[in-house]
Amino acid sequence: MAEIIVVTSGKGGVGKTTTSAAIGTGLALKGHKTAIIDFDVGLRNLDLIMGCERRVVYDFVNVINGEANLNQALIKDKRVENLSILPASQTRDKDALTQEGVQKVLDEMKKTYDYIICDSPAGIEKGAHMAMYFADQAVVVTNPEVSSVRDSDRILGILQSKTLRAEKGEEPVKEHLLLTRYSPERVERGEMLSVKDVEEILSIPLLGVIPESKAVLSASNQGQPVILDDESDAGQAYDDAVRRLLGEDIEHRFLSASKKGLLSRMFGGR
Amino acid sequence: MSQLELFRKNKIKLGPMQDTEAALDSEACFKLKGSRVTMTILELYRYDYKSFNDTLSSTVSSAPDFFQQTPVILSLEKCPADNFIDFIELGELCREYGMIPVAVRGGSEEQLLSANVAGLPSLPPASISTRSPEPAPDTAVAVREVEIEVPISANKVITTPVRSGQQIYAPGGDLVVLAPVSAGAEILADGNIHVYAPLRGRALAGVKGDDSARIFCQSLEAELISISGNYKVNEDLQGSLWKQAIKAELEGDQLIISPL
Ligand SMILES: Nc1ncnc2c1ncn2[C@@H]1O[C@H](COP(=O)(O)OP(=O)(O)OP(=O)(O)O)[C@@H](O)[C@H]1O
Ligand SMILES: [Mg+2]
């Protein structure tokens, strides 16, 4: 049975697309048939981060409108087996997403895929609502600052009231907190909220903490999900998060400011 | 906040008065009379702070002298039912521009509740209110059987976090919350409120005027607490009991907070 996982946040620019690409790729690397859908209609950039922008012919909205079938629109990843991307349209707006249309596409995808990752647009309007409506699980991406935490809190309320599971009174959407762009140095200086602060306010289980990392930008410049950079701190943190999502119990790392030892300085550890 | 003050003042206290007709022939100190007045209606299509403020300021700038302490009725009949309206905020904005909201008309249950908290009564929808039925003239006393549904208990227990933007109301009873109440969330009860977790949002107990209602919470971090319209805001709360387990109750008009 396929699991639908929405990656959402409320606030913009916190790392949803980076996370969707990393987690989707991570699940596929572990042998699960995975698709990532870009719900950010009008502003597509999942295909850029995945490095498949030149292979886009048809998109999500085309499939909803019956202008293309799913197999024509899905792009198979060239590096990772079991991974496909359903890109968003750049020329349409979010009203092109209808609940029936989204449901039709998801129902068809559920037959083939183990995991369907929905990369939500920012905000709490239609696009974000469509991305979360059919979800079984939610990864709530949060930066360690007050406004992002507040928006995540709001999204959590919506997840528990305005999703199909909520409306049908089924078991609620399973929530995961993913803290991204975490900088232990800045937390120590009191410029950012700590993991503990955020956990206390949101009170949902912590899936992972992704450190602020140069590796993210350079990966996205190369059109490579950062999880493929297994030397980098962010790549490793995302890999941990994927393992936790699959049920492994792994200790959290990258939580405190690195006190670089002599060895790591000599060998240029990141 | 001044709306809440208004709400408090509006809880009319009837005291002895002289010089009314009725006083001549009985103990009564006032008499109620029906009357018709023409009122301005503010028809709301949707509400958010910014667009409301913008529309108000442009409306008022076109006729700066038109609104001078003018009472208005807020019509919610064309406003989407799920549009959350903070009537305290809305009332403040209106008064800045010389309009005084006195009642709401139409609106969803949630909107009416929020209006109620801000001290705004609701009028029946337009179609009904235009003609009031005359009582049958020759029956002095009409005896009618009315079925009243008496719930066994009107208390409400919430076990999941109450998140920013959410509002939970326990009409006719107590509200018990076993999870955190976030900043930006609002919980209300006609009776007491218990929060066995941090209270970071707004909590209003005794919203229908029960002065004996109390609020209990495990950790006081609230934006506002209010009992029967007597309130304290965040900055008044940040004293020695901040983040402590507390109870809040009324002594006269004073909201008293003490450790649990
Ligand atoms: N862990 C990280 N370290 C450093 N930079 C990061 C990290 N995560 C994300 N970023 C950067 O933050 C920016 C926003 O990331 P991303 O596009 O993933 O966010 P988003 O939530 O999808 O944004 P939107 O709301 O616009 O869809 C990008 O420039 C990305 O490179
Ligand atoms: Mg994005």
* Distance of alpha carbon A183 from alpha carbon B54, whole angstroms: 39
Q: Using alpha carbons, list the distances in angstroms from residue A16 to B11, B23, B194, B220.
A: 50, 72, 36, 33
Tokens representing residue A53 in the block: 């922008």
Residue B43 located in a structural domain = yes
Residue B31 located in a structural domain = no
* Distance of alpha carbon A59 from alpha carbon A73, whole angstroms: 5
pLDDT in tens, A4-48: 999 999 999 999 999 999 999 999 999 999 999 999 988 878 999
Instruction: State which of A7, A14, A17, A18 you would mutate to test the pocket of ligand 1, scoring each by most atoms of that ligand within 8 A of its C-beta.
Output: A18
Distance B67 CA to ligand 1 centre (A): 48
pLDDT tens string, chain B, 260 residues long: the values are 444 444 444 443 333 343 444 445 557 788 777 667 777 888 888 888 888 888 888 877 776 666 777 888 888 888 888 888 888 888 888 888 888 888 898 888 888 888 888 888 888 766 544 344 444 444 444 444 444 444 566 899 999 999 999 999 999 999 999 999 999 999 999 999 999 999 999 999 999 999 999 999 999 999 999 999 999 999 899 989 999 999 999 999 899 999 99
Q: Using alpha carbons, list the distances in angstroms from residue A20 to A117, A197, A215.
A: 7, 25, 16
Query: Would you call B161 and A201 a contact, using CB atoms and an 8 Å cutoff?
Result: no
Residue B9 located in a structural domain = no
One domain, residues B116 and B176 = no
One domain, residues B249 and B224 = yes
One domain, residues B143 and B198 = no
Mutate to test the interface with B, among A142, A201, A202, A204 (most CBs of B within 10 A): A201
One domain, residues B144 and B180 = no
Nearest ligand to residue A227 Cα: 1
One domain, residues B52 and B115 = yes
Residue B18 located in a structural domain = no
pLDDT of residue A264: 53
Which among A157, A172, A200 has CB closest to B163? A157
Q: Which of B148, B180, B195 is the last residue in one of the domains? A: B148
Using a CB–CB cutoff of 8 Å, tell me whether B173 touches chain A: no
ipTM: 0.79
Residues paired with B40 in a beta bridge: B72
- The band of A267, judged by pLDDT with boundaries at 50, 70 and 90, is low
Distance B97 CA to ligand 2 centre (A): 41
Query: Would you call B163 and A156 a contact, using CB atoms and an 8 Å cutoff?
Result: yes
Distance A15 CA to ligand 2 centre (A): 7
Compute, in degrees rounded to 10, the torsion defined by CA atoms B245, B250, B255, B259: -20
Distance from CA of A46 to the nearest CA of B (A): 29
Query: What is the arithmetic mean of pLDDT over A42-62?
Result: 91
* pTM of the predicted model as reported, rounded to 2 decimal places: 0.71
The finding on whether A21 has its CB within 6 A of some atom of ligand 1 is no
Q: What angle do CA A25, A26, A27 make, to 5 degrees?
A: 95
Distance A76 CA to ligand 2 centre (A): 20
Domain count for chain B, please give it.
2
Residue B88 located in a structural domain = yes
pLDDT of residue B26: 59
pLDDT in tens, A213-239: 999 999 999 999 999 999 999 999 999
Cβ(A131)–Cβ(A118) below 8 Å: yes
The finding on whether A120 has its CB within 6 A of some atom of ligand 1 is no
pLDDT of residue A43: 83
Q: Is B204 helix (H, G, I), strand (E, B) or coil?
A: strand
pLDDT of residue A263: 52
Mutate to test the interface with A, among B160, B178, B182, B221 (most CBs of A within 10 A): B182
Chain B positions in Cβ-Cβ contact with residue A157 (cut-off 8 Å):
162-166, 182, 185
pLDDT of residue A107: 97
One domain, residues B75 and B95 = yes
pLDDT of residue A48: 94
Nearest ligand to residue A16 Cα: 1
- Domain membership of residue B230 as a residue range: 156-259
Mutate to test the interface with A, among B163, B218, B243 (most CBs of A within 10 A): B163
Which among A150, A154, A160 has CB closest to B160? A160
pLDDT of residue B142: 41
User: From A204, which residue of chain B is nearest by alpha-carbon distance?
Assistant: B161
One domain, residues B139 and B225 = no
The finding on whether A212 has its CB within 6 A of some atom of ligand 1 is yes
One domain, residues B41 and B141 = yes
Cβ-based neighbours of B143, under 8 Å, separated by 6 or more: none
pLDDT of residue B176: 97
One domain, residues B160 and B118 = no
Residue B23 located in a structural domain = no
CATH code of the domain in which B199 resides: 2.160.20.70
pLDDT in tens, A170-224: 999 999 999 999 999 999 999 999 999 999 999 999 999 999 999 999 999 999 9
Using a CB–CB cutoff of 8 Å, tell me whether B159 touches chain A: no
> Closest Cα to atom 8, ligand 1: which residue?
A15
One domain, residues B117 and B161 = no
One domain, residues B54 and B140 = yes
Which among B160, B166, B184 has CB closest to A150? B184
CATH code of the domain in which B65 resides: 3.30.70.260
- Long-range contact set of residues A184-192: C-beta below 8 Å, sequence gap at least 24: A184/A211, A184/A254, A184/A255, A184/A256, A184/A257, A184/A258, A185/A257, A187/A144, A188/A257, A192/A144, A192/A145
DSSP letter string, A96-152? G--HHHHHHHHHHHHTT-SEEEEEPPSSSSHHHHHHHHT-SEEEEEE-SSHHHHHHH
Residue B52 located in a structural domain = yes
Give the residue among A255, A150, A210, A155 at the shortest CA–CA distance from A23. A210
B4 or A106, greater pLDDT: A106
One domain, residues B165 and B96 = no
Q: Which of B148, B183, B216 is the last residue in one of the domains? A: B148
Cβ-based neighbours of B31, under 8 Å, separated by 6 or more: B20, B21, B22
Per DSSP, helices labelled H in chain A are 16-29, 46-49, 60-64, 70-73, 99-110, 126-133, 146-159, 164-167, 184-188, 195-202, 214-221, 233-245, 262-266
Residue B15 located in a structural domain = no
Q: Which of B91, B116, B148 is the last residue in one of the domains? A: B148
